[in-house]
Amino acid sequence: MKLKLIFLIYFVVLLNVSSKPNVLFIIADDLMKQVSLYGHNEIKTPELNKLAETSTLFDRAYCQYPLCGPSRASMMLSKYPDKTGITFNQAGKNSKVHAKAQAMSLMTMPAYFKSHNYLSVGGGKLYHNNVQEVDIDFDEILANSGHDGEKVKIKQVNVKKTQTLIAEISEEDPFKHKDGVLVKNAINWLKSYENKGSTKPFFMALGFKKPHSPFSCPEQFWDQYEAEEIKLTEVPKPNDILEEYSLSGVNSLLKVHPDTAQFDAYNLPMEKKLEIVHAYSACVTYIDFLVGEVITGLKAANLYDNTIIVFTSDHGYKLGEYDRWAKNTLHEKDSVVPLLIHYPGQSSRVTSKAVVGLVDIFPTLTDLCSLPTPKNIDGRSFMRSLKDPNVAHRDYVRTVLPRTGGESKDKVSGVSIFHREGYRYHHWWRGDYKHVPKAEELMGIELYDHYKNSNSALSIKNIYKESPELTQKLQDLTLKND
């Protein structure tokens, strides 16, 4: 009798484990929302378009920090950056995020799934560095050592010995580039998992390096774009802004590549601008191809039907708008991200306008997998909005960004909210995030109508002066700091 009871308990536990869905989580680096997945057909994403036919596409998903390291740390911990103190890239490396998690009694998303009897496997740029060894996050690591740009020797003082050109048409095979190597290893792992007949569900996290610079892509993806079709979105700087804080540096992207380091955003030659846009577009289409390869691998291993699939980016990106390149502002184009989620059994396309943050992904996945909600997090599950486009989620979501400015290099803190009515508001104050500012301390107030009476992610006109009541309402919400 006792032996039967033990067997019954073992069988129930085994059944519970094996019935849980797998998770495939893919994050791209520097991928803006404005691609064909969202109707911007200038940048081609046929594989994501295909996946979207049986997925939920979130139209209003936002990062919590418009820079790689802090954004990823926030997402992995489901905690706002101003609460963790991870507000610069180097603090976003996996070892430092783990140390912060331990100090705050938190767990990272992969570690949490691993602790709940998931086989956790991952690789690539998941934090601000490549994950290279087994640690508290992963049982197994997928290597991604491969080609990533054309390197040239630099002889100037205080400059790296080699640097990569900002763009490259590569003759290397797609699976010999870093992201291609990662995907090839992921597909092989899925085959092995299926062959072993594992009863444990898996949590697989893949961090693509592209379309981050250097914009190096296999030639076949560059060739999908005709040079004469490449266009620039020339948008002037918004009115009534404190440019020093509101916009990123004029050479933020350009200074790290030897063929653009001598320029800034104002004197960058037109041919170079067009080359960057062409190469960025090709890199997006390259990672889109790789997403398709992973999905094909899932299906070939008979794992697709029981796998949750997430695809997103760490933040948005600018391609010359406001005379700026890359990310690192509180503006809508840098804050809004692509977010696509497919869950088992989903057979049709759903588009949701629910306001969600990357900070919400962690609890949403635990909810979908019937796991306990992690404690002490800022994120909220949006599972109901995932399954029903008529269900709202947040009224607003925050994005933060500190700066140093002025001759004294004072610390300046910025906070922005996107409100479900379609407006983006942000302000700045002198001091760090430990200081809760009063209304009279605020500066650089900006308010933009993106989707209420218009439909654009571009900051065209700062309307805070002509909309005092709306400005006050959104300012009050921003000062709540929740």
Assess whether pLDDT exceeds 60 at residue 17. Answer: no
Nearest to 292 by CA among 300, 198, 314: 300
- Residue tagged 């997403």 (tokens): 291
Assess whether pLDDT exceeds 50 at residue 412. Answer: yes
| Exposure class string for 268-292: b at 16+ Cβ within 10 A, else e | beeeebbbbbbbbbbbbbbbbbbbb
The Cα 362–Cα 76 span in angstroms is 7
Q: Tokens at residue 5, please?
A: 């009871």
Burial grade of 15 (CB within 10 A; 0-12, 13-18, 19 or more) = exposed
Burial grade of 145 (CB within 10 A; 0-12, 13-18, 19 or more) = exposed
Contact 111, 76 (CB under 8 A): no
The Cα 367–Cα 381 span in angstroms is 7
Assess whether pLDDT exceeds 60 at residue 406. Answer: no
* pLDDT 10s digits, 27-64: 999 999 999 999 999 999 999 999 999 999 999 999 99
Assess whether pLDDT exceeds 90 at residue 242. Answer: yes
Sheet of strand 410-419, all strands in order from the earlier edge strand to the far edge: 396-405, 410-419, 423-430, 443-449
Q: What angle do CA 276, 279, 285 make, to 5 degrees?
A: 140
Assess whether pLDDT exceeds 80 at residue 15. Answer: no
Nearest to 214 by CA among 250, 258, 267: 258
Distance of CA 338 to the CA centre of its chain: 8
pTM assigned to the model: 0.94
The Cα 385–Cα 104 span in angstroms is 29
* pLDDT 10s digits, 310-324: 999 999 999 999 999
- pLDDT (0 to 100) of residue 80: 97
Count how many residues are written for the chain: 482
- pLDDT (0 to 100) of residue 131: 86
- pLDDT (0 to 100) of residue 130: 86
Q: Which domains does the chain have, with CATH numbers?
A: 22-394 (3.40.720.10)
